[in-house]
Amino acid sequence: MAPLKKSKKDSNKLKKIKAKNKKNKSINVVPVENKGTECDWWDSFWHKNSSTPGSGVPSDEEEGFKYFFRASKKTFDYICSLVREDLISRPPSGLINIEGRLLSVEKQVAIALRRLASGESQVSVGASFGVGQSTVSQVTWRFIEALEERAKHHLKWPEPSEMDIIKSEFEQSFGLPNCCGAIDATHIIMTLPAIQTSDDWCDQESNYSMLLQGIVDSEMRFLDIVTGWPGGMTTSRLFKCSGFYKLCESGDRLNGNVKMVSEGAEVREYILGGFGYPLLPWLITPYEGEDLSDPMLDFNAVHETASSVAVKAFSQLKGGWRILNKVMWRPDKQKLPSIILVCCLLHNIIIDCGDKLHPDVAVSGHHDPGYEGQSCKQIESVGRLMRGKLTKHLQTTKKEGSMNMIV
């Protein structure tokens, strides 16, 4: 018997059913939060990675978590909350582990943090989580894009009320009135394919590198950064290319109230910088030369101690997020600034959340080993006058302190 002939109506109905089934099928493969797998990723990771002989992993599980991801579990959850919506709303294909289960947001964040914190290869990081190299690459970049957008409020120039606290902390800690921060710069070293090499990217130590400049407060929190510029630039040139410099020169930054100091002298807002920076009315550098007076030497000693917060901040940044401290293998120069920015954001988030990194995390020695300090000869007369006022103020407070001790 010949098969019954389908009517046009039945055929259309069948097509609709197939289309509906196809649509439902496509929905079912979208990665969603799987509450059954959110907790077990850590148990599996800890069991797999905590018992390696000589690894230095703390035996305490809570400290171990911070060792691997730089953040406490509470701060880790906060980071997850920042990026959760983005990681769920834009799910790529293939984010599964070797057992075929979808990766939770928590595991994705853990993979990205571990990659940034350790600087290990994608293959090595993937092996520790049971995922492939491509998954580590995809997860890390999606996390970087999300945090770059969602954590902007953790790296911004302070409001006047916030700046008053920063200035007070600098004065209480170092005796410097109206000081708003300290500035420094570091090199992010990389290898480049031959077709991308140029003298611009080759720095003074014959490394290919990208520069990062940052201004920090007394708690080593980054207040302003600029990156993306080639390592062949001098520190002073990088500084003058920054938006911060242009804002200060136009009077739109470091424009808060002046402060009356010793003998009625007025001191405006300023930041501290090393020899590689120009001496400006709002950027104070140390005295140079061999025949310096005792007050000048005293000022330099205070300046060095206070400005060391920037040196320590970069040492902490590169130690905490070691991807910045290792030679990057052929990075995308268009994406590298985003990686650097996100590491700075994570550095600030840890401080803002009250976490304390282990002292051994910071890189030992200087954050830019092998690089000789540069010297900028630009000295503005108003800057020299400002430095003189601060020098005199320090001498006055020093004498007053000595008198109080005698009394």
Bridge-based pairing state of the strands 208-216 and 179-191 = antiparallel
Distance CA 72, CA 83 (A): 17
Q: Which residues are paired to 208 by β-bridges?
A: 190, 202
Q: How confident is the model at residue 124 (pLDDT cuts 50, 70, 90)?
A: very high
CB atoms within 10 A of CB 157: 15
Q: Tell me: pLDDT of 404 over 60.
A: no
**Which residue intervals of 207-280 are DSSP H helices?**
235-241, 243-249
CA 206 to chain centre: 25
Its sign, for the CA torsion 227, 232, 235, 240, is: negative
Look up tokens 């501290």; give the residue.
272
State the pLDDT confidence band at 33, using cuts at 50, 70 and 90.
very low
Q: How confident is the model at residue 100 (pLDDT cuts 50, 70, 90)?
A: low
Residue bearing the bigger pLDDT, 200 or 7: 200
Tell me, what's the pLDDT at 200? 83
- pLDDT at 301 (0 to 100): 98
Q: Please state the rounded mean pLDDT for residues 229-244.
A: 95
In this prediction, residue 383 carries a pLDDT of 98
For the CA atoms of 295, 296, 300, 301, the dihedral, rounded to the nearest 10 degrees, stands at -30
Q: Which residues pair with 328 in a beta bridge?
A: 190
Q: Which residues of 362-388 are buried (b: 16+ CB within 10 A; e: fewer)?
A: bbeeebbeebeeeebeeeeeebeebbe
Local confidence band at 399 (pLDDT 50, 70, 90 cut-offs): confident
Residue 7 has pLDDT above 90, yes or no: no
At 28 the pLDDT is 35
Q: Give the DSSP H/E element, type plus range, for residue 223.
A: strand 222-230
Q: What is the pLDDT of residue 359?
A: 74
Instruction: Enter the tokens of residue 284.
Output: 């104070």
Positive/negative CA dihedral, 58, 59, 60, 65: positive
Question: What integer pLDDT is reported at residue 236 of this predicted model?
Answer: 96
d(CA 163, CA 179): 9
Q: What is the mean pLDDT of residues 246-273?
A: 95
DSSP state for residue 70 in the 8-state scheme: S
Q: Which DSSP symbol is given to 177?
A: T
Mean pLDDT of 246-264: 95
Q: Strand 259-260 vs strand 222-230: parallel, antiparallel, or unpaired? A: unpaired
What confidence score (pLDDT) does residue 97 get? 55
As a whole number, the mean pLDDT across the chain is: 87
Q: How many CA atoms lie within 13 A of 279 on its CB side?
A: 18
The 10s digit of each residue's pLDDT in 323-341 is 999 998 888 889 999 999 9
Mean pLDDT, residues 113-130? 95
CA atoms within 13 A on the CB side of 82: 24
Q: What are the tens digits of pLDDT across the range 148-199?
A: 999 999 999 999 999 999 999 999 999 999 999 999 999 999 988 865 667 7
Position 89 pLDDT exceeds 60: yes
Whether residue 26 is predicted with pLDDT greater than 50 in this model: the reply is: no
Does 137 or 359 have the greater pLDDT score?
137
The span from the CA of 218 to the CA of 167, in Å, is 9
What tens digit of pLDDT does each residue of 43-53 get?
Answer: 999 989 987 76
pLDDT score, position 211: 97
Alpha helices in 90-159 (DSSP H): 105-118, 122-129, 133-150
Q: How far is the C-alpha of 113 from the C-alpha of 115, rounded, in Å?
A: 5
Which one, of 202, 184, 343, lies nearest residue 276 by Cα? 184
What is the identity of the amino acid at 371? Y
The pTM of the full predicted model, rounded to 2 decimals, is 0.87
Q: Report the percent of the chain where pLDDT is more than 70.
A: 84
